[in-house]
A and B are shown apart, each in its own frame.
Chain A
Amino acid sequence: MLLKSRKHLLLLSVTLLFAASIIGGGAAVVAQDMSTLVIALAGSPPTFDPLAASDSRVDTPSINLYNTLLQYLPGVTEWELELAESYVQADDGLSYTFTLKPGVMFHDGSEVMAEDVKYTVDRLVAVNIGVARSLVMVTGADVVDDYTVTINLNSPFPGFLGALSRLYILNSELVQANTVDDDWGQTWLQNNDAGSGPYVLTSFTPEQEFTIERYDDYFKGWEGSHVDRAIFVVIKEESTRRLSLENGDSHWIQVGSPETLDALSENPAYTVNTDPTLNQLYFAMNTRHPILSDARVRKALSLVYDFEGHVELARNGYAAIAKGVLPPGIVCFDASLPESAMDVEAAQALMAEAGYADGGFELTMAYQGTSPEETAAMQIMQAGAAQLGVTIRPMAIEWPAKVQAYSAQETAPDVGTVWMFPSLPDPDQFFGRLGMSDQAGGGGINFSWYSNEENDALLAAGKVELDPEARCEIYKQAQAIWDAETPYVNVVVGMALSASHANVKGYQWSPPHSYTQNVYQIYFDDM
C-alpha cells in the first residue's frame, strides 16, 4: 500500500511538471503575421514623454509617435523639414521663424498649429529636463499666426536647427486637458501619446512591451511598403533576445555582444547590422592629481594604451579607433587627424622627462564593471601602464555613482572612462561638456577637471559662431590644445549592433538618433 502511494506521489509530481507543457506549442505566432513587426529591445522606455527623448529608449517611441519641425534623414547627418514648410533665421541668430505645413493632423484629429509649437517650447523651458540639455539657449516662442511661430534664443547656436530634431511637437490642447498640479502633463504623458507621427501608442506594459499601430491620416501617407503595427518587447537578457530571433518570436533585435553578432552573421537567414555611432569613449585624466597634473605624464599614459587591441579584443573589430576629440559625422570633424596610436618609447621618454622614469606610483581607474568592453579597457590600460611602472587600481563603478564621485575633487578617480552620447552631431556636445571648466564637479561631465582659460574662451566662441568655416577653425585650435594637454585620451568610436530576419528591409541607422528604431521606414520584402 505504501509503495502504491509512493507511486501516486511520483506520478503526481511528474504529471504536474509536464502537464501544462503539452497544452500547446511554443509562441512563434506573432512573427508569422507579416503586417506586424516585433522588435526586441534591451530596455524599456522609462517614460513616453518626448521631452525625455535625449535618452534613446524614449527617442524610439517618440520618433514613431511624434513629428518635429525638421528631422534628420536616415543614414546621414543631414536634415529635412518635417512639420515646417519653411523657416527664416534672424541675422543675429537669436530667433528662427517657422511656417508650418497646413493640414497635418494630430492623432485626435486636431490640426498641428503654431500654438502647439509654442506650447512645446514653453514646456521645454519650464520643465527643463532631457532634450532641454541641447536647447538651453531657447527662451520661448511667439505665435505670429496660426501657422507661423518664432522661437527665441538668448544666444546664437549653430547647432540649434539640428537640436530641433528631438523637440517633438505636442498636441497642446490634449496635454493641457490632462495636466494636473501644473505638471505640464508629465504624469499623463508617461504612458500616453499626444503626437502626429505615423503610429499611435495602443498598449504599454511597463518593462514588458509597448505596441504602436499605424495612424491612417499620417501626413506623409502610406504609399510604399510599411508595417501596420510594431510591438516592442523588452528582453533584457541578450541570449534570450537572440533565441527570440531564432525562434521567430522577434523580427529585429538589439545586439550587445560582438560574439552574438558573429554567431548570427554565419546564418543567411539573418541580416546583421553594424552601424557607426556618434558615440566616443574617452579616458578622463584627473588634471588635479598631483602627478597627473603634469601633461607629460597624461600624454605618456595615452601612448601606452593598445587601441588596436581594444578594437580587436573588446569589440571583435566592431569599433573604430578615435581620431581626435570628435567622432566622424560630427560637424567640424577633421578626417586628416591621425588615429590614436600606441608608442611606448615616446611614452617612456616623456615619463623620464617628467621625472618618473621608473613610474612607481598608483592610479585609480573608474570604469563600468557591468560593461565587458569597459572592463577590457581597464585591463588594457593596466597592461599599458605597467610598461611605465605605473599600477592601475581598478574601481568598478556605475554611471550615477561615477558622476557623484567626480562631483568633488577629493573623490574624483585618477583615470576614468566616459562615453559621450550626443543628442545632435554638434562639436559643442563633446568639447563643451568634456572641456569647459564650469562643467567640472557638481554633476558636470568634465571628469578631468580640466581648466584652461584659452580653451574656455575658444569653446565659448565656438558654441555661438554661426559661420561654419570660422567655427571649425576655432575647434581646430581647441583640438590642438587638447592634443598637447591630453585631458582626455580619445579611445574608440562605438558601433551599434543589431540583427533581423533577412526579409526585414528598410532599416536604416540614423547617426543623430543612435539606437532608435524608426518603424515607418521598415517593411517585409515578401508582404
Chain B
Amino acid sequence: MGEYVLRRLYQALWVLIAVTVVTFFISNLLPGDPALSRAGQFATKEQVAKTRKLLGLDQPLHIQYFKYMQRLLSGDLGLSITSRQPVLKELRDFFPATLELTIAAFCFTLSIGVPLGILAGSTKSRWLKSTIITGSLIGVGIPVFWAGLVFQLVFAGRLDLLPLAGRLTLTVPPPPSVTNMYLIDSVLAGQWDTFKDALHHLILPAFTLSLGQIGAMARTTNSAVSSVIHRDYVRTAHAKGLASRKVLWAHVLRNALLPVVTVLGLYVAFMLNGALLIEIIFSWGGLGTYAWIGIFRNDITVIMGVTLTASLTFMFVNLVIDLTYPFLDPRIQYG
C-alpha cells in the first residue's frame, strides 16, 4: 500500500508540472494584458509599458515560466499582479470558504442522495421508485443558477427562514482564524452563536450546490443497488432467514458501494471546483470567486495558484477514493 501511495504521489508530481506548463502558457495566450489590469483601465501607453517592465512581463515567456517555477519550488506562489498580495495568503482566505461549502454540500449529497438511491433500488413499490427517479432527474436537470435564485426568493424572501447571502451576518465578526472555515473556527473558539450563524448561512448555498449531485447520486446508487439486489447471494441471504436490514447493509450495499464511492469522489471534486455560480449568487467569496477575479483581471499568478490548488485537490480526493477500495472490496489489493 505504501509503495502504491508513493507511486501515485510521484505520478502526481509530473501531472502538476504538466499543469503548470499548460496553464502558464495558455494563460499567456489569452487575450488581454495583465500590465493594463495593474496600471488601470485608461492608463497611458507609457504607463502600461512601465508597469509591464516592473512586473517582469516584458521578458520572454520561457524565462517568466522558469522564474515562476523557481519560486514555486520554494513554496512561493508569487504575488498577485493586481492586488500585490501573496497568492498563497489569498488562497488561504478563499479556499477554506469553498472547502467548507463543499463539505456541507457533500453531507447533503451523502445523506439525501444515497438513501434515496437505496430506497429506489430496494423498494418493490413502482410508484415510489418512479417518484424518486423522476425527482432525481429533475434535480440533475435544474440549472443551479436558477435553483439558487428560487431558493433565495422562497427561503430568504418569502419565508424568511434563512439568510440571503454571505458567510456570516454582517454584524457578526468572523471567529479567530485557524482554518478559515467558520464552522470549525467558531467551535475551536467556543463561539456558539457564531457557529449557529455560520451554519445558518451555509445551508442554502450548500443545498443548492448539492442539488444536482443528490439527483445523480440517487440514480447511481439506485442502479448499483438494483444490479445486485436480485443476485443469487442476496436471495440466499434472505432464504437463510437473515433480517432484511442485515441483507441490505451486509450483502446488497457492500457490493453496490464501489461505483457509488467512485462517483462520490468525482462529485466532491466537481463541487469543489465548480462552485463559481453558487458563490456569485450567494456572495460566498470562495475559490470560484477568486478564479473569476484572476481570469477577469488577467492575473496570471492567481490563475496559476487556483489551477494548482484545484489540481492538487482533485488528485488528493481521487487518491483517497482509490485507497478506500481495498476496504470496500478485499479482492482489490495494491501491491
Contact yes or no, A6 B119, CB < 8 A: yes
Query: Is the CB of B260 closer than 8 A to any CB of chain A?
Result: no
Could you give, for residues 199-237 of chain A, a 1 whenever the CB lies within 8 Å of some chain B CB and a 0 otherwise?
Answer: 000010111110100000000000000000001011111
Contact yes or no, B47 A132, CB < 8 A: yes
User: Which of A244, A407, A433 has most chain B Cβ within 10 Å?
Assistant: A244
Query: Is the CB of B31 closer than 8 A to any CB of chain A?
Result: yes
Stretch among A18-26, A92-100, A306-314, A472-480 lining the B interface = A18-26
Residue of B nearest to A411 (CB): B31
* Chain A: minimal CB distance from B40 (Å): 4
Contact yes or no, B164 A25, CB < 8 A: no
Contact yes or no, B84 A183, CB < 8 A: yes
Inter-chain CA distance A52–B37, complex, in Å, is 11
Inter-chain CA distance A401–B157, complex, in Å, is 39
User: Which of B85, B160, B163, B243 has most chain A Cβ within 10 Å?
Assistant: B163
Picked from B38, B119, B174, the residue with its CB within 8 Å of the CB of A129 is B38
Residue of B nearest to A440 (CB): B45
Query: Is the CB of A267 closer than 8 A to any CB of chain B?
Result: no
Contact yes or no, B50 A128, CB < 8 A: yes
Number of interface residues of A (CB under 8 A): 79
Query: Is the CB of A190 closer than 8 A to any CB of chain B?
Result: yes
Query: Is the CB of B203 closer than 8 A to any CB of chain A?
Result: yes
Inter-chain CA distance A400–B149, complex, in Å, is 30
Say yes or no: A29-B164 contact (C-beta < 8 A), given A9-B118, A439-B45. no
* Chain B: minimal CB distance from A140 (Å): 17
Query: Is the CB of B27 closer than 8 A to any CB of chain A?
Result: no
Query: Is the CB of A527 closer than 8 A to any CB of chain B?
Result: no
Contact yes or no, A16 B41, CB < 8 A: no
Contact yes or no, A405 B245, CB < 8 A: no
Q: Which residues of B contact A136 (CB under 8 A)?
A: 44, 47
Inter-chain CA distance A353–B162, complex, in Å, is 66
Stretch among B10-18, B165-173, B315-323 lining the A interface = B165-173
Query: Is the CB of A445 closer than 8 A to any CB of chain B?
Result: yes
Contact yes or no, B285 A207, CB < 8 A: yes
Picked from B85, B122, B174, B283, the residue with its CB within 8 Å of the CB of A6 is B122
Query: Is the CB of A133 closer than 8 A to any CB of chain B?
Result: yes
Stretch among B64-72, B106-114, B305-313 lining the A interface = B106-114
Contact yes or no, A206 B94, CB < 8 A: yes
Inter-chain CA distance A186–B81, complex, in Å, is 12
Query: Is the CB of B255 closer than 8 A to any CB of chain A?
Result: no
User: Which of A6, A29, A55, A442 has most chain B Cβ within 10 Å?
Assistant: A6
Contact yes or no, A205 B174, CB < 8 A: yes
Query: Is the CB of B4 closer than 8 A to any CB of chain A?
Result: no
Residue of A nearest to B163 (CB): A27
Contact yes or no, B203 A21, CB < 8 A: yes
Inter-chain CA distance A2–B238, complex, in Å, is 12
Say yes or no: A442-B45 contact (C-beta < 8 A), given A1-B244, A190-B84, A207-B290. yes
Contact yes or no, A209 B170, CB < 8 A: yes
Query: Is the CB of A452 closer than 8 A to any CB of chain B?
Result: no
Q: Which residues of B contact A209 (CB under 8 A)?
A: 166, 170
Residue of B nearest to A420 (CB): B42
Contact yes or no, A243 B166, CB < 8 A: no
Query: Is the CB of A30 closer than 8 A to any CB of chain B?
Result: yes
Query: Is the CB of A461 closer than 8 A to any CB of chain B?
Result: no
Inter-chain CA distance A131–B134, complex, in Å, is 57
Residue of B nearest to A46 (CB): B82
Q: Which residues of A contact B293 (CB under 8 A)?
A: 46, 207
Residue of B nearest to A429 (CB): B42
Q: Which residues of B contact A129 (CB under 8 A)?
A: 38-40, 43, 47, 51
Contact yes or no, A190 B33, CB < 8 A: no
Inter-chain CA distance A445–B40, complex, in Å, is 12
Picked from A5, A128, A397, A438, the residue with its CB within 8 Å of the CB of B47 is A128
Contact yes or no, B36 A403, CB < 8 A: yes
Could you give, for residues 60-95 of chain B, a 1 whenever the CB lies within 8 Å of some chain A CB and a 0 otherwise?
Answer: 000000000000000000010011110000100110
Contact yes or no, A27 B169, CB < 8 A: yes
Query: Is the CB of B156 closer than 8 A to any CB of chain A?
Result: yes
Q: Which residues of B contact A442 (CB under 8 A)?
A: 45, 48-49
Q: Which residues of A contact B40 (CB under 8 A)?
A: 52, 54-55, 129-130, 133
Q: Which residues of A contact B171 (CB under 8 A)?
A: 29-30, 33, 36
Could you give, for residues 198-227 of chain B, a 1 whenever the CB lies within 8 Å of some chain A CB and a 0 otherwise?
Answer: 011111000100000000000000000000
Say yes or no: A246-B84 contact (C-beta < 8 A), given A133-B47, A404-B31. no
Inter-chain CA distance A133–B30, complex, in Å, is 26
Could you give, for residues 113-142 of chain B, a 1 whenever the CB lies within 8 Å of some chain A CB and a 0 otherwise?
Answer: 001101100110000000000000000000
Query: Is the CB of B196 closer than 8 A to any CB of chain A?
Result: yes
Contact yes or no, A421 B36, CB < 8 A: no
Q: Which residues of B contact A10 (CB under 8 A)?
A: 115, 119
Query: Is the CB of B188 closer than 8 A to any CB of chain A?
Result: no
Inter-chain CA distance A259–B310, complex, in Å, is 38
Q: Which residues of B contact A36 (CB under 8 A)?
A: 171
Residue of B nearest to A20 (CB): B203
Contact yes or no, B51 A206, CB < 8 A: no
Q: Which residues of B contact A208 (CB under 8 A)?
A: 166-167, 283-285
Q: Which residues of A contact B30 (CB under 8 A)?
A: 401
Could you give, for residues 272-302 of chain B, a 1 whenever the CB lies within 8 Å of some chain A CB and a 0 otherwise?
Answer: 0000000011111100011001001110000
Inter-chain CA distance A82–B32, complex, in Å, is 39
* Chain B: minimal CB distance from A260 (Å): 13
Q: Which residues of A contact B186 (CB under 8 A)?
A: none
Q: Which residues of A contact B164 (CB under 8 A)?
A: 26-27, 240, 243-244, 247, 249
Inter-chain CA distance A23–B119, complex, in Å, is 28
Contact yes or no, A233 B116, CB < 8 A: no
Picked from B38, B50, B280, the residue with its CB within 8 Å of the CB of A236 is B280
Query: Is the CB of B237 closer than 8 A to any CB of chain A?
Result: no
Query: Is the CB of A258 closer than 8 A to any CB of chain B?
Result: no
Inter-chain CA distance A30–B281, complex, in Å, is 20
Query: Is the CB of A335 closer than 8 A to any CB of chain B?
Result: no
Query: Is the CB of A28 closer than 8 A to any CB of chain B?
Result: yes
Contact yes or no, B83 A21, CB < 8 A: no
Say yes or no: A133-B166 contact (C-beta < 8 A), given A2-B245, A21-B161, A24-B196. no
Contact yes or no, A23 B199, CB < 8 A: yes
* Chain B: minimal CB distance from A394 (Å): 16
Contact yes or no, B149 A240, CB < 8 A: yes
* Chain A: minimal CB distance from B75 (Å): 18
Picked from B31, B84, B165, the residue with its CB within 8 Å of the CB of A187 is B84
Query: Is the CB of B155 closer than 8 A to any CB of chain A?
Result: yes
Q: Which residues of A contact B162 (CB under 8 A)?
A: 21, 26-27
Contact yes or no, A403 B84, CB < 8 A: no
Query: Is the CB of A38 closer than 8 A to any CB of chain B?
Result: yes
Q: Which residues of A contact B36 (CB under 8 A)?
A: 400, 403, 443
Instruction: Tell me which residues from 262 to 286 in chain A have a Cβ below 8 Å from any Cβ of chain B.
Output: none
Contact yes or no, A444 B33, CB < 8 A: no
Say yes or no: A30-B111 contact (C-beta < 8 A), given A20-B199, A54-B42, A444-B45. no
Contact yes or no, B281 A237, CB < 8 A: yes
Contact yes or no, B157 A247, CB < 8 A: yes
Contact yes or no, A243 B153, CB < 8 A: yes
6 more CB-based (< 8 A) A-B contacts, given A27-B164, A128-B39, A246-B157: A1-B244, A9-B119, A20-B200, A132-B47, A136-B44, A247-B156
A-B contact pairs, 11 of them (CB 8 A): A5-B244, A24-B196, A26-B161, A47-B83, A206-B285, A208-B167, A233-B165, A237-B280, A397-B31, A433-B42, A443-B36
